Structure 1
Amino acid sequence: MRRSAPILGRFRYGYVAPAALLVAGLLYAPFVWTAYLSLTRYDGLAPPEWAGLANFGKLFDDPALLTSLRNTLLWVVGTMVLPVGLGLLVAVLSHDIKGGAWYRVPFMLPYALSGAGLALVWSPILSHGGIANALLGVDTAFLQDAPVNTLAMLLVWTWQQLGVNTLLFVVGLQSIPKEPIEAARLDGASGWRLFRHITWPLMRPLTAVVVGLALVASLKTFDIVWVMTQGGPGRNSETLAVTMYKETFVASDYGYGSAVAVMLTVVTGLASYLYLKRQVAS
């Protein structure tokens, strides 16, 4: 006699349906609408007019977009080197030492500030003739000239993100079994050799998560850039996220702004896919 399916199994799709509908409504439906708008001419007032691929063709002829791509790439590379690299360094140096948690506290405090609040604090410091110029004894426009302005904002971003990356790496270090470390030390490994051949490989799963999160965050950088420079002077410090915002909500060109949004989504998704694929393959 055939046994009836358990009640939980019979209604399993019903249990996940509310969450699936919520995700579809909040994430997928807006993206589909944005993708549609990217194929139209739309100013937010009159009905959208079909434009085909005209907005995407405009992308490749827009010099401001090339600047945005360059700056976004700088943010990606800078994030991998500074917040992630320095976070790993601080975590390793403060791990397994007496009072190490207290050494990490100063690095954690800036993370409590929002990106916009952080930008408001640092804007007068880095402005021309500001505190940074006075302390360093220079006359440099940190927020005026490219790519110096992007590098200056990267340092501010590092100041905020360093703490959380350090904390994540500390969690990874604490999860490493002690037996391989002790065995390596008995064999004479220490310092850099111990870290390179034992500690680093054992931290690889967590490192993949930290780098993946930092990669996505750097591709979507907006608040710090918008508050500190609004993508200027001119458009020389724009990122893709800032370009998308300005074209959509400042210039009221919703069609072109949506095309930039679609491009940013594709770039973020492709970068994440290639990174994850590389992690799985290796």
Structure 2
Amino acid sequence: MSIPATPIMAPAILEEAKRRETAAMRRSGRVALLFMAPALLMVGVFLLAPVVFNIILSFTRWQRFSGLDEFAGLLNYQRLIGIPYFSEAMINTGMWVVGALVLPLAFGLGLAMLLRGIPFEETFKSLFFLPRVLAPTAVGTLWYYVYAPHGVINTISSAVTGQPNDFGWLFEANTITPAIIFTFAWQTLGINMVLLLLGLAAIPRDPIEAARVDGASNWQIFRHIIWPLLLPTVFVVTILNVVAGFTAFDLLWVMATGYPGQRTLSLAVYMYYETFGKSSWAYGAAIAVVLSAMVVIVSWALTTMQSRVEQRIR
């Protein structure tokens, strides 16, 4: 014979149910942590540990296998301010960030808008995406001969003007950075186009059709409907391009082999030169810390802006 439940027993029953639910959640959390343990171990060993070691290293005098146990304080960071190479690398890195953002984004958006719904759309998309699958070193080697004194550009220029042209695009301070940025934009144009095409495909057609019925022009539709709804995707592309601009290395290293001021082309190249070329590992670690801090700050700012834009759209 069962005992009927009474109002006095209700709190005890609720308390027991909460206790069992809490115990079940703890068991689920332990199981989840057990499955995540290998990934967390890999991240800790191969990502977090090197980052922490690099930060510690930047406060030492480590150079040529000596001085790791000597504390240097902020000496390596003070050295950054006093060396002109660092300021030149900072300026070139800024140019890289702007160029790596504006050119691929602008051309990628233009292509995404032009290729939608045209005949042979998939073929054109594959052609523009093809450079992305090539290794950066292969792309750098290819475009090195395009910009060479007797390369493709100067050959075409000589044929058009009728005068010999052997200008060294990769050997002049005023042209080397823009030339390599254009090469980077050529390689990354395809991935920007694909991401923006995905963003365009997610935009509902009803507002666009309603605007056309009301007599809105293509520019008005793009400005007031397509662009605001595409902004979340634009921010994703922007973050990817900005990070790529900050960390640019392979194209610079391959294409600027003969340039005298190669180490000033970007902070990443300058860091590599000081660390492995001059064995100034502590100083190179300080450059890496500054570069990482810049990437984190800019990425955080862009991510914050992206979340605010998404909230406003919703």
Give TM-score, length-normalised by structure 1.
0.94
- 8 Å Cα contact 1:225/1:237 also seen in 2: no
Structure 1 SS opposite 2:20: coil
Query: Which residue is equivalent to 1:105?
Result: 126
1:184 aligns with 2:184: no
Distance 2:20 2:71 in 1: 56
Structure 2 SS opposite 1:188: coil
Query: Which residue is equivalent to 2:53?
Result: 33
- 8 Å Cα contact 1:149/1:237 also seen in 2: no
Query: Which residue is equivalent to 1:258?
Result: 285
Query: Which residue is equivalent to 2:239?
Result: 212
Higher Rg of the two aligned structures:
2
Query: Which residue is equivalent to 2:31?
Result: 11
Report 1:76-87 matches (<5 A).
76-87=97-108
Query: Which residue is equivalent to 2:162?
Result: none
Deviation at 1:84, TM superposition (A): 1.1
- Give, as a single letter, the amino acid of the residue that structure 2 aligns with 1:248: T
Deviations 1:104-162 (A, max 9, x none): 22211111111111001111221223222111224322001113100000111111000
- 8 Å Cα contact 2:93/2:246 also seen in 1: yes
Distance 2:103 2:236 in 1: 16
- Give, as a single letter, the amino acid of the residue that structure 2 aligns with 1:119: G
Distance 2:139 2:276 in 1: 23
Query: Which residue is equivalent to 2:13?
Result: none
Distance 2:305 2:192 in 1: 21
1:61 aligns with 2:82: yes
Cα distance change on mapping 1:223 and 1:233 into 2, 3 Å: same
Report 1:1-282 matches (<5 A).
1=16, 2-3=19-20, 5-6=23-24, 7-48=27-68, 49-137=70-158, 138-230=165-257, 232-235=259-262, 238-282=265-309
Deviation at 1:45, TM superposition (A): 1.9
Distance 2:243 2:230 in 1: 20
Deviation at 1:237, TM superposition (A): 5.1
Structure 2 SS opposite 1:50: coil
Instruction: Tell me how many residue pairs correspond in the alignment.
Output: 282
Distance 1:191 1:82 in 2: 23
- 8 Å Cα contact 1:109/1:163 also seen in 2: yes
Distance 1:259 1:270 in 2: 17
Deviation at 1:18, TM superposition (A): 2.7
- 8 Å Cα contact 2:256/2:262 also seen in 1: no
Which is worse superposed, 194-203 or 101-110? 101-110
Deviation at 1:13, TM superposition (A): 3.0
Percent same amino acid at aligned positions? Answer: 39
RMSD: 1.7
Deviation at 1:26, TM superposition (A): 1.2
- Give, as a single letter, the amino acid of the residue that structure 2 aligns with 1:3: R
- Give, as a single letter, the amino acid of the residue that structure 2 aligns with 1:91: A
Which 5+ residue runs of structure 1 have no aligned equivalent? none
Deviation at 1:229, TM superposition (A): 0.7
